[in-house]
Amino acid sequence: MHLPGKVFALLSPLFLALLAPLPATAAESPEIVCIQCHSAMPGRLGEPVKLWKGSIHAENGIACNACHGGDPKNAANAMSPARGFLGAPKETAIPAFCGRCHVGVMRDYLASAHGKALGKGGPTCVTCHSNHHVVKASLDLINEKNCSRCHGFERARLIRDAMQETEGMIVAIDTRIAAYKEEGTDTEGMQKGLFAVRNRFHTLFHNVDAAMVKKESAGIQGDLRKIQNQLTALDASRQKRKLAGAGGISAMLLLALFAHLLRKTYD
Amino acid sequence: MTLLKRLIDWFDVRIGAREVVARELTGYLLPRNINTWYSMGSILLFIFAMQMVTGILLLIYYVPDADKAFKSVTFIMNEVPFGWLIRLCHAVGSNLMVLVLLFHMLSVLFMNSYKSPRELNWLTGFILFTMIQGISLTGYLLPWSQLSFWATTVATNSVGAIPAIGPYLVEFLRGGKLVGPPTLGRFFALHVVLIPTGIGALIGAHLFFLQRTGVSTPPFGQKETANQWKGDGYRYESHPEGIPFFPVYALEDIRSIFIYLACFLGVVFFFPNLLFTKEAFLPANPLQTPLHIKPEWYFLANYQTLKIFPSEFLGLAVQGIAMTFLALLPFIDRDPERHPLKRPLFMVCALGGLLLWIGLGVWGHYS
């Protein structure tokens, strides 16, 4: 009555194939040559790598070559001008350097008092945003420590206060959208809406006209409320689902109790 | 009532319906000391039926094309009326099916109901278990999300560790060198046609064997707990003093199914994301590997086993040996004693194995 060895031999690979267990780790993408070399260098040559690793650029996968050009896969030609290497820009060329990607922001900056003072002691992008440790643009950048390096903080404070409420709304909406997205809700429409509104809002960041900032902020808040209403409708729908779920669970438990009591009548 | 009686009479004179009911339902007697664990099989039949129904409903809107699959699932979850409910029922149901199946197997194991003459019941049940794992694995890819894409990549990768045929098997499973649109087509065919047909056939065989051997008597509360069957001839284990399946035990089955449904709805409505990570809601991107892709909870022990062995092949071999041992347990364990408390060595091994499996799973989750 014992199972023959042949069946054992036949079944073993079947189980192996069907179970298909998983290996230890997922593959990681290799580092580009810029980081491989510079991270081992001391002082100012190695410092940018450390700074970049904590930046919004690193978070979004924007590596060295995206700004500085060159060939990130070939150590010998990584810094070859023939492969598009640009190196570090001169001070007056910085807005154009960053503006290759941040087109609208460059336009706003050049139209502002800051931009008009370019090359005459005025600030460039990196003065406020830093060059390698570029953090996500937010109102926190407008602070006394930053602004008072060049001028008084009074007018900057007025502008920041006018934008504070809108910024708070954007952050809160963004967080709620992200939470819905993480549970499978189609948030594409809301995300696009918020992206457009946020871009409009960010054009104000380089504006130094306090009255205009206040007026524009009011309009932006109106658009944000429309997205808030969509989120409130989603909240209500989820609440209804929970109520329906509670009803369903209660019904099932009552039916189980009924079946149990009916069963007892046959004892 | 008159209409119902006339309808029954109509059937009875044609197919002898009352005789079938008397033999298979009211006259089908079960052991007096039968317990709730015996309801697990009925719950599993109910879950399988529900997976079929929700699966067919999902097929109406699901598109098995790599460019459209993720969008079609998003459409089901957000636009189709009650699509979210159907999809969640299918996804949660697949996980609970594995859980209830494990309970069913453990109850059979600890009550020693797998012993002769029920070797075929156990074997068909064990193959069903591997097929349920297979249908879960193939279904995992279908939403074409980051989670499904990368989980399938690593799962199919591990098959490559099988000597000689491994690399060919990987390519055969994927339909190419890498997971891609051909893999989706293959897994879709396996998930909706081949494996369900196999499961249906095996359920039929499993029930047929149960019908032919009769329901085993639980070893609890009995004076004589040793297996009485000597292998000298066919014997149906009848229970002349037992309780009728219908309506008495059927009501117990129904009660268990309603309790299961209450738990199931609890997960669907209150913890819908218990089984999903955020990668499950991002479209598959072959160029962006997520940092920590973990398999489903029931594969975590396998996953951790592969990590603790120095070579992947060794890890696979150990798992293959363990699974083959479990599959052939009724042929290996010939001790006639069925009461678990009278078998201390068996209890230590069984509980130790279960704790090891849970421990490896927890380790795999946090590793």
Nearest to B323 among A1, A15, A244 (CB): A15
Chain B positions touching A11 (Cβ under 8 A) are: 324, 327-328
Check CB contact of A26 with chain B, cutoff 8 Å: yes
pLDDT over 70, % of chain A: 89
B74–A184 C-beta distance less than 8 A = yes
- Find the helix packing angle between B166-174 and B146-159, rounded to 10°: 150
The 10s digit of each residue's pLDDT in B275-323 is 888 899 999 999 888 887 888 999 999 999 999 998 889 999 999 999 9
Q: Rounded to whole angstroms, how far apart are CA atoms A106 and A98?
A: 8
Check CB contact of B83 with chain A, cutoff 8 Å: no
Classified as helix, coil or strand, B80 is coil
Q: Which two tokens stand for residue A261?
A: 């009591």
Spans of chain B below 50 pLDDT: none
Q: Which two tokens stand for residue B282?
A: 């991002």
Chain A positions touching B302 (Cβ under 8 A) are: 19, 21-22
Question: Does residue A222 belong to any structural domain of this protein?
Answer: yes
Question: Does residue A49 belong to any structural domain of this protein?
Answer: no
List phi, psi (to 5°) of B337.
Answer: -65, 135
Cα dist from B330 to A42, A79, A86, B40, B354, whole Å? 67, 69, 73, 20, 18
pLDDT over 70, % of chain B: 100
Amino acid B196 reads: P
Nearest to B281 among A12, A181, A263 (CB): A181
Consecutive H or E run containing B30: strand B29-30
Q: A88-102, A213-227, A246-260 — which one is most confidently predicted on average? A: A246-260
**What is the extent of the structural domain holding A207?**
138-267
Are B337 and B343 in contact by the 8 Å Cβ rule? The answer is yes
Torsion of CA B242, B247, B253, B255, to 10 degrees: -120
Asked whether the CA dihedral A40, A43, A45, A51 is positive or negative, the reply is positive
Mutate to test the interface with B, among A10, A18, A22, A191 (most CBs of B within 10 A): A22
B337 secondary structure, DSSP code? B
Cα dist from A111 to A209, B2, B296, whole Å? 12, 91, 55
For the ranges A80-84, A211-215, B313-317, the lowest mean pLDDT is seen at A211-215
Question: Does residue A27 belong to any structural domain of this protein?
Answer: no
Q: Rounded to whole angstroms, how far apart are CA atoms B325 and A27?
A: 33
Q: Which two tokens stand for residue A241?
A: 């689902």
Instruction: Look at residue A2 in the predicted model and tell me its pLDDT.
Output: 38
**pTM, whole model, 2 decimals?**
0.80
List phi, psi (to 5°) of B285.
Answer: -135, 100
Does the bond joining B181 to the residue before it have cis omega, within 30 degrees of 0? no
The 10s digit of each residue's pLDDT in A9-33 is 333 333 333 343 443 333 334 578 9
Amino acid A28 reads: E
Q: Rounded to whole angstroms, how far apart are CA atoms B276 and B284?
A: 15
Instruction: Look at residue A108 in the predicted model and tell me its pLDDT.
Output: 87
The 10s digit of each residue's pLDDT in B39-96 is 999 999 999 999 999 999 999 999 999 999 999 999 999 999 999 999 999 999 999 9
Q: Which two tokens stand for residue B320?
A: 């293959």
Nearest residue to B236 via CA among B11, B6, B23: B23
Q: Which two tokens stand for residue A207?
A: 């504006």
Instruction: Look at residue A5 in the predicted model and tell me its pLDDT.
Output: 39
Instruction: Look at residue A17 in the predicted model and tell me its pLDDT.
Output: 38
What's the whole-number average pLDDT of chain B? 95
Question: Does residue A94 belong to any structural domain of this protein?
Answer: no
Q: Rounded to whole angstroms, how far apart are CA atoms B282 and B222?
A: 56
Check CB contact of A16 with chain B, cutoff 8 Å: yes
Check CB contact of A30 with chain B, cutoff 8 Å: no
B150–A26 C-beta distance less than 8 A = yes
pLDDT surpasses 50 at A126: yes
Check CB contact of A11 with chain B, cutoff 8 Å: yes
**How big is chain B, counted in residues?**
367
Mutate to test the interface with B, among A1, A19, A254 (most CBs of B within 10 A): A19
B47's torsion region: left (phi>0), alpha (psi -120 to 50) or beta?
alpha
What's the whole-number average pLDDT of chain A? 85
Domains identified in chain A, total number:
1
B159–A184 C-beta distance less than 8 A = no
Nearest to B268 among A19, A21, A245 (CB): A245
Are B90 and B51 in contact by the 8 Å Cβ rule? The answer is yes
Cα dist from B89 to A258, B29, B84, B92, B345, whole Å? 24, 34, 8, 5, 41
- Once rounded to an integer, what is the mean pLDDT over residues A141-147? 90
Question: Does residue A124 belong to any structural domain of this protein?
Answer: no
Query: Please, which pLDDT band fits residue A138 given cuts at 50, 70 and 90?
Result: confident
Chain B nearest C-alpha distance from A206 (Å): 34
Instruction: Look at residue A67 in the predicted model and tell me its pLDDT.
Output: 94
Check CB contact of B78 with chain A, cutoff 8 Å: yes
Chain B positions touching A22 (Cβ under 8 A) are: 151, 154-155, 158, 295, 299, 302-303, 306
pLDDT surpasses 70 at A80: yes
Closest chain B residue by Cα to residue A258: B255
Q: Rounded to whole angstroms, how far apart are CA atoms A137 and B344?
A: 67
Bridge partners of residue B337, in order along the sequence: B226
Check CB contact of A1 with chain B, cutoff 8 Å: yes
Chain A nearest C-alpha distance from B10 (Å): 29
SS (H, E, C) chain A: CCCCHHHHHHHHHHHHHHHCCCCCCCCCCCCCHHHHHHCCCCHHHHHHHHHHHCCHHHHCCCCHHHHHCCCCCCCCCCCCHHHCCCCCCCHHHHHHHHHCCCHHHHHHHHHCHHHHCCCCCCCCHHHHHCCCCCCCCCHHHCCHHHHCCCCCCHHHHHHHHHHHHHHHHHHHHHHHHHHHHCCCCCCHHHHHHHHHHHHHHHHHHHCCCHHHHHHHHHHHHHHHHHHHHHHHHHHHHHHHHHHHHHHHHHHHHHHHHHHHHHHHCCC
Cα dist from B60 to A167, B64, B87, B194, B364, whole Å? 43, 11, 12, 19, 36
**What is the count of residue pairs from A and B with beta carbons less than 8 Å apart?**
158
Q: Rounded to whole angstroms, how far apart are CA atoms B120 and B202?
A: 11
Instruction: Look at residue A26 in the predicted model and tell me its pLDDT.
Output: 35
Other beta carbons within 10 angstroms of residue B352's beta carbon come to: 10
- In angstroms, how far is CA B50 from the centroid of its own chain? 13
Closest chain B residue by Cα to residue A21: B302
Chain B positions touching A264 (Cβ under 8 A) are: none
Chain B positions touching A28 (Cβ under 8 A) are: 289
Chain B nearest C-alpha distance from A36 (Å): 20
Nearest to B320 among A16, A242, A259 (CB): A16
Chain B positions touching A26 (Cβ under 8 A) are: 150, 153-154, 289-293
Amino acid B67 reads: D
Asked whether the CA dihedral B319, B320, B323, B329 is positive or negative, the reply is negative
pLDDT over 90, % of chain A: 55
Amino acid B335 reads: D
Chain A 179-238, residues with CB within 8 Å of chain B CB atoms: 181-186
Query: Please, which pLDDT band fits residue A210 given cuts at 50, 70 and 90?
Result: confident
Question: Does residue A110 belong to any structural domain of this protein?
Answer: no
Question: Does residue A159 belong to any structural domain of this protein?
Answer: yes
Domains of chain B: 36-219+244-357 (1.20.810.10)
Q: Which two tokens stand for residue B61?
A: 């809107």
Cα dist from B366 to A182, A204, B173, whole Å? 21, 45, 29
Nearest to A263 among B255, B281, B328 (CB): B255
Check CB contact of B265 with chain A, cutoff 8 Å: yes
Question: Does residue A125 belong to any structural domain of this protein?
Answer: no
* ipTM summary value: 0.93
Instruction: Look at residue A123 in the predicted model and tell me its pLDDT.
Output: 92
Instruction: Look at residue B1 in the predicted model and tell me its pLDDT.
Output: 67
